[in-house]
Amino acid sequence: MPEEPTEPPETPLDAETVEPAPRPMPRCPRCGWQNVRISLTKGPLDLILGVVSIQRFKCRSCGNYFRRWRRL
């Protein structure tokens, strides 16, 4: 009677299966929605702010413009 090897079933790495969030979007400070998009920089002020990693966002819900650190 051969003994079958009792290997534990392969468990997926939970740490690797976290949904990817390469660029988490900030929340709109006005309405609190996360339905925002990055507003392209156009003016010289935005270029300067882009150097210090501040990006301009626009809320799709209320149309509010706001700036946030890019790393947030």
Which residues are at the interface with Zn ion (CB under 5 A)?
28, 30-31, 59, 61-62, 64
Minimum Å distance from CB 24 to Zn ion? Answer: 16
**Comparison of 38 and 47: residue with beta carbon closer to Zn ion:** 38
The position carrying tokens 């925002």 is 36
**Comparison of 30 and 37: residue with beta carbon closer to Zn ion:** 30
DSSP 3-55: PPP-PPPPPP-TTT-SPP-SSPPPPPTTT----EEEEPP-SHHHHHHHHTTEE
Q: Do residues 54 and 46 make contact, with C-beta atoms less than 8 angstroms apart?
A: no
Minimum Å distance from CB 62 to Zn ion? Answer: 3
**Comparison of 33 and 49: residue with beta carbon closer to Zn ion:** 33
